[in-house]
Amino acid sequence: MYPLEQKHLEERICYTFGNAQLLRTALTHSSFANEHMGGREGCNERLEFLGDSVLSLTVCNYLYHTYPDLPEGRLTVLRKNLVCQRALADYAMQLRLGDYLLLGKGEEKDGREKPKLLEDAFEALLGALYLDSGDLDTVASFLIPYIKNEIAKLEKDLQPLEDYKTILQQYVQQTPGEELRYELIREQGPDNAKSFTVRVLINSNCFGTGRGSSKKEAEQNAAREALKLYLPK
C-alpha cells in the first residue's frame, strides 16, 4: 500500500533525519498539499528549488576535483548530462523514491513513475538532506554513487562501433529546444575516390568534425567526435 513508510526510505539512503518533517515535506507533491492541506504550502516545491542548487554544486565540486585536466567546456557538457531530467528520474527510480511520495488522487494512477515528478522529488530530497545535516558532505555521500554509475553508463555508450548519430541525438534531445544538424564543409577527390568532411552543429556551435568516403561515414565520425565532449576522458 502506497506510500511506503519514511523510515524505510531512511534505511535505503543510510541517513536518519533529525527533523522528520523535512523528509515528509520533500515527499509531498503539490497535488497532495492542495487536497489535504488547503493549498501548496507544505509541498516540496521550495525544497526542490534549494535541492537544484545543492545538486549542481555537489556535482560541480566532484567533477572539478576528479577530472583536474578536463577543460571547462567538457565539464559543462558532462554536468549537463548528469543532472538532466532523464538522469535524475533514473536516480529516483533506482531509489524507488516514487513509492514514498504523498500524491493527490489525480496523480496516484501514474504519478509515481512520471519523470518530471520524480526529478522534482529527488531534488527536494537533496534539499532536505542538506538542511537537516547542515553540510554538503552528507549530500555527496548519498549522491556521488549515482553520479559515478551514470558516468560509467555514458562511457559504455561509446564502446560499441555503432550508430553514433543516434547516440548523439539521444543526448541532445535531453535538452528541449536544442537543434542538431550536420553541415558538409569540404568535398575532395575524383568521383571514384571522393573524400567528405562534415561538421556537427548543436545550435550554432561546432561540436566536432569528421571525414569519410561518403557523407554518411563523415557524419558518423563527426558525431563520434562530438560524443567525446560528453565523457570525462
Give the model's pLDDT for residue 161.
44
pLDDT digit string, tens, across residues 195-225: 999 999 999 899 999 999 889 999 999 998 9
Which residues are 197's β-sheet partners?
186, 211
Query: Mean of the per-residue pLDDT values for the chain?
Result: 90
Would you state the cell numbers that stand for residue 24, as one nine-digit string?
515528509
Residue 52 annotated among the catalytic residues of the structure? yes
122 and 215 share one domain = no
Q: Of 108, 134, 156, at which residue does a domain stop?
A: 156
Percentage of the chain exceeding pLDDT 90: 63
Would you state the cell numbers that stand for residue 7, as one nine-digit string?
523510515
Lookup result for grid cell 558532462 = 78
Give the model's pLDDT for residue 168.
87
pLDDT digit string, tens, across residues 20-45: 999 999 999 999 998 888 767 789 99
Give the model's pLDDT for residue 57.
97
- Residue 104: left (phi > 0), alpha (psi -120 to 50), or beta? beta
Give the model's pLDDT for residue 159.
52
Query: Does residue 184 have a pLDDT over 80?
Result: yes
Q: Is 82 helix (H, G, I), strand (E, B) or coil?
A: helix
Marked catalytic residue, from 48, 52, 90, 150: 52
Instruction: For residues 51 and 114, give the distance between their C-alpha atoms in angstroms, rounded to a whole number.
Output: 19
pLDDT digit string, tens, across residues 89-147: 999 999 999 999 999 998 888 889 999 999 999 999 999 999 999 999 999 999 999 99
Largest Cα–Cα distance in the chain?
A: 75
Higher local confidence (pLDDT), 66 or 38 = 66
Q: Of 118, 140, 156, at which residue does a domain stop?
A: 156
- Tell me the residue type at 112: R
Instruction: For residues 84 and 66, give the distance between their C-alpha atoms in angstroms, rounded to a whole number.
Output: 20
Query: Does residue 6 have a pLDDT over 90?
Result: yes
Percentage of the chain exceeding pLDDT 70: 96
Q: Of 156, 183, 205, at which residue does a domain stop?
A: 156
pLDDT band at 157 (very low <50, low <70, confident <90, very high): low
Closest CA to 59 of 124, 144, 179: 144
* CATH for 56: 1.10.1520.10
> Interhelix angle for 164-172 vs 215-227, to 10°?
50
Alpha helix locations (H) across 134-203? 136-156, 164-172
178 and 151 share one domain = no
Beginning with the edge strand found earlier in the chain, give each strand of the sheet holding 205-212 in spatial order: 180-188, 195-202, 205-212
Give the model's pLDDT for residue 162.
55
Q: Is 167 helix (H, G, I), strand (E, B) or coil?
A: helix
Structural domain boundaries, residue 198: 164-230
Contact criterion met (CB below 8 Å) for 27 and 103: no
* CATH for 184: 3.30.160.20
Marked catalytic residue, from 107, 119, 123, 150: 123
26 and 112 share one domain = yes
